[in-house]
Every structure is written in structure tokens, then in C-alpha cells.
Amino acid sequence: MRAITFVLAASCAFAQTPLTKILSSELDRNFTALKEKGDPPPYFMAYEVTDTDADTISASAGALEGVNHQQLRVLDVTVRTGDPKFDNYRVVNGQRPRFTPGSAIVLDDNSAAIKQSLWLMTDRVYKGASQQLIRLKSDDKLRAKPSDGSDDFSKEEKQIYYGTAPQLKFDTADWTNRLRKLSADFTKYPGALNSQVAVEAQRVFTTFVNTEGTQIEQGRLFTRLMITANGKAADGMDLSTMESFDVDDPSKLPKDPAILAAVEKAGSNLTALLKAPPADPFVGPAILSGRAAGVFFHEIFGHRVEGHRQKDETEGQTFTKSVNMPVLPNFLSVLFDATRQQIDGTPLNGYYLYDDEGVKARPVPLVENGVLKTFLMSRSPVDGFGQSNGHGRRSPGNEIVSRQSNLIVESSKKVSDADLRKMLIEEVKRQGKPYGLFFDQVTGGYTTTARRGLQAFTVIPLIVYRVYPDGRPDELIRGVDIVGTPLASFGKILATSDKSEVFNGYCGAESGYVPVSAVSPALLVSEIEIQRKERSQDRPPYLPRPAASEIRQ
């Protein structure tokens, strides 16, 4: 990714964009007026505008499915009434208030039009914020005191940063022709009921100002080429395969031969899956590839160390009382580093310099040699952690909470992939199991963190093999879900490989979908549990598929 350049406002005020000037001046005007006339008055306000410029093209079986260009500006308004100790954002009984609707505003830096939107949105959000504070204070006397008595909002240093990001240069005509040709290759695979090759290139630029004097302008590019194929086994089970390429600038995507090889890999994997035996429920040793391990850590660990969950009485609070205590094997450390742009040439989707509260991002060593040190913090303090560490995040139209960024797993007990496989086979023999498992590809996962639900997680693999201890070839199986509970899973990790892989994705939670990355070496675990995934009762199509030559016409 190209470096973002910046200058300090104190020395080069001309770097400030017209939008920042409009937001800043109108913020001052509205804040002053509400402090004089509002009851209760605000003590803090912020405006954030997210400007997204994106191109998406998709093709299937040699024909275009969609060509879309989108440019959108969304305004979010934050108004805090009361004071930092007790304000309108206080969470009671798990009810997280929402005030900003995320309103689309004009694309041009037209002062009059933007001020009109700011005026109406600020008035709307302020009314909701003041009403909520009145309700909270009225009900406070009837509620038991919370176990976490920390403030509702932290004081942070003012930040001034004016950054630039490259303009998005996307050749729609070129990619339209390329995707037609590339997607046509799937017609060679009769088991692919539907398939797609799609590319999305986007430039996201955010402008943020608050009443503490913070002014942030920052942006980045991110491009993904996604290859997917879907089929249905004879017993009705739906199956999918996927390959992807992630870069910053679209010009860095691979040439057609490399993409075609990925198309053929996805098609071949789907063909093999359709013939593979279904998985049986199993508990035993396994290796998770680096990408699979990254999702594993994101789901079972990352969500449980987000700061706001330590304060919410409806959350399971798995690690709330575990600071300075071992939570992982002592050869593992976990770092969250939003400032890391790439690893070994692969861009990290969770990269940013300032979070959505204008707090400077920084590396956060969360676990050191197995010992938990801190949590991912927004400006919502928890007991023992009164400051943000730059992890207040949201997608437009949502309220900010603490979220993951770039999760990086580091190990001091590393072996080669070959040695890790030998260790797996030895563990299979030691336990007397008929086989072990190798999880090659995953597509994502989900977890339950609420106290009312089971503290469990699910990781959804795509490509899984049985590894036999007697030297038989690995056997592909289908229909696997990894399931388990977090605390029982951490102690099962025995060793890691000596190289890491990157999983880029988007994580959905209370503050919407935010871009994240997980970087991890492959893991050897002594025990993992799988279940057979749910399958449809529908059978594959009765009618024969049209001939490949007819589809291509």
C-alpha cells in the first residue's frame, strides 16, 4: 500500500480540506448554541464523514452479472450530554443506545448544502441524546450499582492529521473483458451449479472533527478479487469453494494466468468435494492452516477481549478478571496493530492510523507469553483501563464500540510444516485415533459472547482432510463445522508452524461491519471437535446441464 502523507496543521494549514473547514466551523457554531440553550447541554460533540468510492464487477459463465460504480458520503453525528462520568451512552441491561442514523450528504464541498445536513442531523441526534440522559438519570435510583463503576467517556489528547490517499484508478472496460473470459472457465466443471469471478476496488476517506480540537483526514485503497463456486452433493448438501486475491491498488492484482489457475483450483476443489464422503462427528488432534488459525483466534479470543464487553453485565466476560493471568499457552503472544499496512506483501484489511474517535492507533500487545495484559479499548473506560488504545470503530450509521483491527499471533514454539505434520501423526497414534484432521481453507465463523447464550464458537471450513497415521493419502471430506467453547480450546494448542498466513475479511458486530485481518502461523491442537454441517433435503437438478459450448455462446 502506498504510504499516506501528512503534515501538521500548525505548520501547513493549507493542507486542510474544504470539508474539514466546513465541519469544524459548523461544529463550533452548533456546540456553542446547544451549550447555551440545551437542557441538558452537551459536553462533547463530533462529526465524521465517510466518503466511499467503489467499483464492482462480477461475471459468471462468461457473461457479466453486474457492473456498479458507487460514490457516497455518509455523515455521523455524536452528541454527549451530561458529563464524562455519566452520560447518554451508558449501557443498562445490555441496551446499547443508538443516536446517529448515518445520513447521506452531498458529494460536493458545497458549504450551504453540507451545513443544512449538519444542522438537521445535529438537532435530531441532540434531541435523542438529551431524552436518553433524562431517562437514564430517572431510572438510576431504581437500579443496583454496576460492578464496573468506571466513567462513560475518557479524556484523550487532541490530534491533528491531514492525510492523503491515492485516487482510485479502475479500468472498467478492461476488467469487464477479463472477467468474462476468466469466469467462462468454470463451464468445464459440471458440478458448479453457479460460479462467479468478481472484483471490488474501493477508496475510503474519512474526515473527523470534534469539540476537543481533533481534526483527522485519512484514507486508503483496498481491492479484492473473489472467485467462488457452488454445488450440491447427491445427498443434498450444499458445497462451496473460494479463492481470493487482496491488494491495495487494482493495478497490483495478478495477471490472467494466475487468476485462471485460481479459477481452476476452485473448480477442481468443488469437483472433489462433490465426490468426497461426508464428515462424521469427531474429537481429536488437528492442524489448522495459518488462515484457519487466524479465524479461530478472531472468533474465540478477539471478540472476548473487546473492552466494552468487560463492562456490559449481559456479556459472558470470559477474561474480565484475567488481567496479568495466563490465558494462552506460554509460547503464544497476541498483538493487535492497526498501524501495520502489510505482511510479506499482503495488505492488511484492518489497517488505519486513527480510529473513528480520532484516537491515534498504536500496537497493542494484548497477550505476552500467554499472559493477558490489557483489552481493546475505545473511549469507553473499564475498571483498570481508563484510556483508549485506538480501537473505537464503526461502519457508517452505527455507534462506536471497541473492535478488533489487525490480530497478529506470534509464537516461540515454531517448527516447519513438515515437522508439524509429523507431530500431528504422533499425536494421532498416542491418542489411538483413526486419523487426525487438516483444515486448509475456511470462509469465516461466528461466536456467542452474551451471558444468556452458550459461550461457544463455530468456524466454517471449506477444505478439510483426514490425515491417516499409516501413510495412506490424505482424504478430503465435506460438510464440516468446527465447534467448541473458548476456555477449553486454548489449552489444546501444542505448537505452531514457522510461517504465518493472512486472513482478510469484514467482521460484523454491534457497530456494524468493519474491515479486519487475522495473521497466524498454522496451529497443532491436541483436540478439536467437529460436527456435520446442516444439509438441505433438496436433491441436485434433475435436468442435465447445458453443454459447455452452449453456455459459452
Domain limits, the chain: 6-143+151-275, 282-532
Spatial CA neighbour of 81 closest among 124, 30, 133, 138? 133
To which H or E segment does residue 311 belong?
A: helix 307-311
**Cell numbers placing 131:** 431524552
The answer to whether residue 1 scores a pLDDT higher than 60 is no
Q: How far, in Å, CA of 464 to CA of 440, rounded?
A: 6
* Residue 548's pLDDT band (cuts 50, 70, 90): low
**343 CA to centre of own chain:** 17
Q: Could you give the C-alpha distances from 305 to 106, 176, 382, 393, 549, in angstroms and in order?
A: 38, 43, 12, 15, 54
SS3 label, residue 62 = coil
Of the CA atoms within 13 Å of residue 58, those in its CB half-sphere come to 10
State residue 212's pLDDT score.
98
Phi and psi (nearest 5°) for 88?
-70, -5
> What are the start-end ranges of the E strands in 84-176?
86-87, 103-105, 160-163
**Cell numbers placing 420:** 508439524
State residue 316's pLDDT score.
80
Mean pLDDT over 416-437 rounds to 98
State residue 303's pLDDT score.
93
Spatial CA neighbour of 291 closest among 523, 490, 474? 523
* Residue 243's pLDDT band (cuts 50, 70, 90): very high
Q: How far, in Å, CA of 53 to CA of 69, rounded?
A: 8
pTM here?
0.92
Mean pLDDT over 314-322 rounds to 86
Q: How far, in Å, CA of 345 to CA of 255, rounded?
A: 16
Please, are residues 150 and 312 in contact by the beta-carbon 8 Å criterion?
no
The answer to whether residue 8 scores a pLDDT higher than 50 is no
The answer to whether residue 165 scores a pLDDT higher than 90 is no
**Cell numbers placing 292:** 484457519
For residue range 500-530, what is the model confidence (pLDDT) as tens digits? 999 999 999 999 999 999 999 999 999 999 9
**Cell numbers placing 94:** 445490555
The answer to whether residue 299 scores a pLDDT higher than 70 is yes
To which H or E segment does residue 81 belong?
A: strand 63-83
Q: How far, in Å, CA of 79 to CA of 551, rounded?
A: 56
CATH number for 6-143+151-275 (one of 3.30.2290.10, 3.30.160.340, 3.30.1600.10, 3.40.50.11540): it is 3.30.2290.10
Spatial CA neighbour of 77 closest among 211, 204, 202? 211
Mean pLDDT over 158-183 rounds to 95
